[in-house]
Amino acid sequence: MDFSLDFIEIIKKSQKVVILTGAGVSRESGLDTFRDAGGYWSKYNPYELASPQGFRANPLLVWQWYQARKIIASQAEPNPGHNAIAEMENYFPEFYLFTQNVDRLHHRAGSKKVHELHGTIFESHCFDCGLPYPQDFEIGETLATIPRCPECNGYVRPSVVWFGESLPYEALSMAYQKSQSCDLFLTIGTSSEVYPAANLPHQAIYGGAYVMEINPNETSFTRDSNLSIRQKSGEILPEILRIIKEIKVK
């Protein structure tokens, strides 16, 4: 792809970069998205599997679903998009990666500056008191296989943000702050429909940043972006990385 002179100039000048990723990035590693046709929420009721009410009603069902997702995520491999993002952080004085994904593929690709807005399926904590539960365990066919909190005896739950819950305050606060003060913002593989994370590219625009959207599909944010690229992230991000290396490596 041939990039415009304006974009190349932005790369030259940018010192502070923020990236926001969504399920589309992991889809290229074989993981289902949530909102697309054929995604998770077209097959399952989200409030049964991803809400406090659903967990109270049937914690075993919720855990069996998350355990299956955890196995699938463990078997998936980071794709060229993940790898390109991981390498990009080496070329800017300030670089922040905020992700809505819970699969830890960014970590496995080598990204060190990752902030998880929706938590991760690879950690757990007590549903009642919030105490982290670091031990490994496997869910079986009975409630007895769900671990209990050593402090209050409440059920342990996945450390993901469910419907009706707030995003982690520190991660979200940092995301807003860095989005408002960055030079370059990339929103990648996200539907732009899940708030408050979907507000971050708008914050970047208000702060004067150049905002690029990378998504095979048009989103509600497309018309507001400075540049919208209709390609898969695994295809275009290595090209963007190549431009960055040519400019930044003297």
Catalytic sites, residue numbers: 118
Q: What share of the chain is helix, strand, coil (3-state, %, to 5)?
A: 45, 20, 40
Which one, of 116, 134, 127, 88, lies nearest residue 175 by Cα? 116
- Residue 182 has φ and ψ, to the nearest 5°, of -85, 165
211, 219 in Cβ contact below 8 A? no
